[in-house]
A and B are shown apart, each in its own frame.
Chain A
Amino acid sequence: MSMLALGLLFGGVTLLVMFSGMPIAFSLGFVAIGFMYFFMPGSSLDTVTQNVYEEMASITLLSIPLFILKGAAIGKSDAGKDLYSAMHAWMQRIPGGLGIANVFTCALFAAMAGSSPATCSAIGSAGIPEMRKRGYSPGFAAGIIAAGGTLGILLPPSITMILYAVAAEQSLGRLFLAGIGPGLLLVALFSLYAAFRFRKEYRAAHAAYEQHGKRSAYLDEQIFTLRQKVEMLPRVLPFVILLIGVMVALYGGFATPSETAGLGAVLALVLIAVVYGIWRPRDLQPILLSTLRESTMLMFIIGMSLLFSYVMSYLRISQSAAEWIVALHLSKWVLLAMVLLFVMVLGFFLPPVSIILMTVPIILPPLKVAGFDLVWFGIVMTIVMEMGLIHPPVGLNIFVIKNIAPDIPLADVVWGVLPFVGLMFIAIFMICAFPGIATFFPDIVMGPGR
């Protein structure tokens, strides 16, 4: 069988099995074993389990459940609400401060919890009602939270980046740092848009008041005293210290990334015990149970994706596909655009975990030949996958928003989110034009990359 026919058969069977509704982990393993049986030496089937174990038993990959535990501990406490209240109070004087406070809170919480939908859920449940109470249009409020939540997979410690680091054999430390600049860029863009939109809606509310005498909540001013503001800090500061402490442990050379995951999880559990009194087994059970469910689901997908990639590589499908792309002699930026479009389409159907592990062996070699920095590309790819979390038809964060604010019509949420998709496109263009946005921090902290 020619390589083209084998590649098409492999791709076709994979799509068929996946779209049958079979769990992603089992479908990847099933396809891998099927192709091993028909196209690889019989002995390869005897080493299937050893392959999966050896690929999975990497302490870097196995730090993922501990990062999830840290996120679940923080996500299930009231830390999100307290952080939100404090940000709201401290930013009240800035025009559009409430919207900006929501963006900042999402970014900080995402960095602590490391999960996009958890951020949406925790901050949105406090932020959306408050914004609507203050006159913000429902779509705008929903858009801010859905987009702010996506920062979870860009800012460190991001599970998506851990996988990319393993699959692309890039430094995890560099990737974590490379996410900070683009993360801050997105925070800035989202905040600017929030301020711009606030002014527009404020003017409209003002005009409506002058014409019809109908007073919108937009026109009411909420004042916090300095005492009120200071009183909000004690509950928030420990978590900000945790965030900084974990980063210092990692980059100060005190802990490896996996140790940072363990340390972060233990510190998060200690903090919620001290600050929120969450320490009894019955309080901890939902946190541990949700961590176990999510970790198991993810680790099964990761293990089987690695087996799938191994088969693709053994049969030289990934190498041939990569060579074929290189032989097209596309210009550097057309190649990048095609690759990102491919990732975006996959994002309609697959979680970032599978996209990374299945596509990286194919798309990275051509990008490397074209001269792209693979750490930089990891960041751009992550932003594209972030867009998958909020763009229709299946953006996960959109459904989280519908869950916490069911009375906002889906159309309003989608329209509210779309400007933020546009801002992410702008961010991608800016990072392409100025790669330093991503590479500046890792170069400063860890020296210039390879």
Chain B
Amino acid sequence: MRRGGDFLTEADVAVAQHQGTGGESRGPLGPLARLMAGVHRVTVVFGMIALLVAAAILTYSVFSRYFFKAATDWQDEAAVFCIVGAVFLSGAYVQSCRGHIGIEAIASILPPAVNRARAFIVDVLSFFFCSFFAWKSWTLWYEAWVDKMTSSSSWAPPLAIPYGLMSVGMSLLALQLLLQLASHFVSGGRQR
């Protein structure tokens, strides 16, 4: 069973760095896997920068209010956009390392053949869920874009920005799951 940890060890990071998109980088899925690995590198760098920017914005918020008595109407929302973007865009990367934790108590007691079937079904269901979510995210983004929807704050930034980041992130996640799903057929078993 994999427990929900609230930290990652050096080993986890090393695994994540070396694992790339799992074991799909060889065989007929190679080009797609390498493309996804490239996308992950971009989204992860974006996510890292977005986290730092969010921390900097909130720090600026404290100082600007305390020292310059300036209004802090945009900082919270800007930080939310950065973090929402970082989280959704790196969802696919985390999935590539199988970093979304689940209860795997049953996996250890099932016979290997049954366990392979279980892993396949789990990936299929995960793919359908993420695809549905991605589809609905794009619909939401489209409405926000066409209707020029903004948030209700005085800063009123366009909501198409966070909705767009959510849509791209969930689509990449669905694509990553599709790649991992395909690897069941190519390599005859789940790559981990």
Q: Which residue of A lies closest to B14 (CB)?
A: A286
Over the window 9-30 of chain A, the binary record of Cβ atoms lying under 8 Å from chain B Cβ atoms (1 yes, 0 no) is 0000000011111111111011
| Closest beta carbon of chain A to B135's beta carbon, Å | 9
The answer to the question of B172 belonging to the interface, with a C-beta cut-off of 8 Å to chain A, is no
Question: B87 and A295: CB pair below 8 A?
Answer: yes
Q: Which residue of A lies closest to B130 (CB)?
A: A26
- Chain B hits for A17, CB < 8 A: 125
Which A171-229 residues have a C-beta within 8 angstroms of B?
none
Assuming A49-B140, A266-B59, A293-B8, is B122 touching A22 (CB within 8 A)? yes
Question: A259 and B80: CB pair below 8 A?
Answer: no
Which B11-64 residues have a C-beta within 8 angstroms of A?
11-13, 16-17, 44, 47-48, 51-52, 54-59, 61-62
Of the A-B pairs whose beta carbons lie under 8 Å apart in the complex, a sample of 15, sorted by A's number, is A22-B122, A23-B126, A24-B101, A29-B129, A33-B129, A49-B139, A53-B84, A53-B162, A59-B76, A71-B7, A117-B7, A290-B8, A300-B87, A301-B4, A396-B5
Which A228-251 residues have a C-beta within 8 angstroms of B?
249
Which 9 A-B pairs rank lowest in CB-CB distance, beginning with the nearest?
A: A351-B4, A262-B58, A23-B100, A288-B48, A118-B7, A265-B55, A290-B8, A23-B102, A62-B83
Query: For the complex, what is the distance from the CA of A301 to the CA of B99, rounded to whole Å?
Result: 12
Question: A48 and B133: CB pair below 8 A?
Answer: yes
The answer to the question of A318 belonging to the interface, with a C-beta cut-off of 8 Å to chain B, is no
The answer to the question of B132 belonging to the interface, with a C-beta cut-off of 8 Å to chain A, is yes
Q: Which residue of A lies closest to B97 (CB)?
A: A293
Name the residue among B57, B126, B129, B163 with the largest chain A CB count within 10 angstroms: B129
| Closest beta carbon of chain B to A282's beta carbon, Å | 12
Over the window 54-83 of chain B, the binary record of Cβ atoms lying under 8 Å from chain A Cβ atoms (1 yes, 0 no) is 111111011000100000000010011001
Assuming A46-B139, A62-B80, is B130 touching A262 (CB within 8 A)? no
Over the window 86-110 of chain B, the binary record of Cβ atoms lying under 8 Å from chain A Cβ atoms (1 yes, 0 no) is 1100110110010111111111000
Over the window 121-145 of chain B, the binary record of Cβ atoms lying under 8 Å from chain A Cβ atoms (1 yes, 0 no) is 1100110111011001101100000
> Which residues of A line the B interface, CB within 8 A?
17-27, 29-30, 33, 45-46, 48-50, 52-53, 56-59, 62, 65-66, 68-69, 71-72, 75-76, 115-118, 121, 152-153, 159, 249, 254-255, 258-259, 261-263, 265-266, 269, 285-286, 288-301, 349-354, 394, 396, 400, 403
| Closest beta carbon of chain B to A203's beta carbon, Å | 38
Name the residue among A49, A117, A394 with the largest chain B CB count within 10 angstroms: A49
- Chain A hits for B86, CB < 8 A: 65, 292, 295-296
The answer to the question of B9 belonging to the interface, with a C-beta cut-off of 8 Å to chain A, is yes
Instruction: From A69, A289, A300, give the contact of B55 (CB < 8 A).
Output: A69
Instruction: From B66, B83, B105, B126, give the contact of A26 (CB < 8 A).
Output: B126
Q: Which residue of B lies closest to A17 (CB)?
A: B125
Question: A290 and B48: CB pair below 8 A?
Answer: no
> Which residues of B line the A interface, CB within 8 A?
1, 3-13, 16-17, 44, 47-48, 51-52, 54-59, 61-62, 66, 76, 79-80, 83-84, 86-87, 90-91, 93-94, 97, 99-107, 118-119, 121-122, 125-126, 128-130, 132-133, 136-137, 139-140, 162-163, 166
Query: For the complex, what is the distance from the CA of A59 to the CA of B103, rounded to whole Å?
Result: 29
Question: B4 and A290: CB pair below 8 A?
Answer: no
| Closest beta carbon of chain B to A439's beta carbon, Å | 26
Question: A289 and B106: CB pair below 8 A?
Answer: no
Instruction: From B61, B83, B132, B163, give the contact of A33 (CB < 8 A).
Output: B132
Instruction: From A48, A53, A349, give the contact of B1 (CB < 8 A).
Output: A349
Instruction: From B51, B56, B105, B121, give the contact of A291 (CB < 8 A).
Output: B51
Query: For the complex, what is the distance from the CA of A168 to the CA of B117, rounded to whole Å?
Result: 40
Query: For the complex, what is the distance from the CA of A259 to the CA of B52, rounded to whole Å?
Result: 13
Query: For the complex, what is the distance from the CA of A440 to the CA of B55, rounded to whole Å?
Result: 32
Question: B129 and A26: CB pair below 8 A?
Answer: yes
Query: For the complex, what is the distance from the CA of A116 to the CA of B5, rounded to whole Å?
Result: 9
Question: B7 and A262: CB pair below 8 A?
Answer: no
- Chain B hits for A349, CB < 8 A: 1, 103, 105
Q: Which residue of B lies closest to A116 (CB)?
A: B6
Query: For the complex, what is the distance from the CA of A25 to the CA of B140, rounded to whole Å?
Result: 21
Question: A351 and B129: CB pair below 8 A?
Answer: no
- Chain B hits for A33, CB < 8 A: 129, 132
Question: A27 and B80: CB pair below 8 A?
Answer: no
- Chain B hits for A263, CB < 8 A: 58-59, 62
Query: For the complex, what is the distance from the CA of A296 to the CA of B10, rounded to whole Å?
Result: 17
Question: A353 and B4: CB pair below 8 A?
Answer: yes
| Closest beta carbon of chain B to A62's beta carbon, Å | 4
Assuming A117-B5, A403-B9, is B101 touching A351 (CB within 8 A)? yes
Query: For the complex, what is the distance from the CA of A321 to the CA of B31, rounded to whole Å?
Result: 51
| Closest beta carbon of chain A to B167's beta carbon, Å | 8
Instruction: From B57, B59, B104, B162, give the contact of A21 (CB < 8 A).
Output: B104
- Chain B hits for A25, CB < 8 A: 100
Q: Which residue of A lies closest to B177 (CB)?
A: A26
Instruction: From B48, B102, B104, give the contact of A292 (CB < 8 A).
Output: B48
Question: B51 and A21: CB pair below 8 A?
Answer: no
Assuming A289-B44, A295-B87, A297-B101, is B58 touching A20 (CB within 8 A)? no
| Closest beta carbon of chain A to B93's beta carbon, Å | 8
Given contacts A57-B80, A65-B86, 20 further A-B contacts (CB under 8 A): A19-B105, A20-B125, A24-B100, A26-B125, A26-B126, A65-B51, A66-B58, A69-B51, A117-B6, A258-B79, A259-B58, A262-B54, A263-B62, A292-B44, A292-B93, A293-B97, A350-B4, A351-B4, A353-B4, A403-B9
Q: Which residue of A lies closest to B81 (CB)?
A: A57
Query: For the complex, what is the distance from the CA of A26 to the CA of B72, rounded to whole Å?
Result: 36
Question: B13 and A286: CB pair below 8 A?
Answer: yes
Assuming A26-B126, A30-B125, is B136 touching A46 (CB within 8 A)? yes
- Chain A hits for B139, CB < 8 A: 46, 49
Query: For the complex, what is the distance from the CA of A58 to the CA of B83, rounded to whole Å?
Result: 11
Question: A115 and B66: CB pair below 8 A?
Answer: no
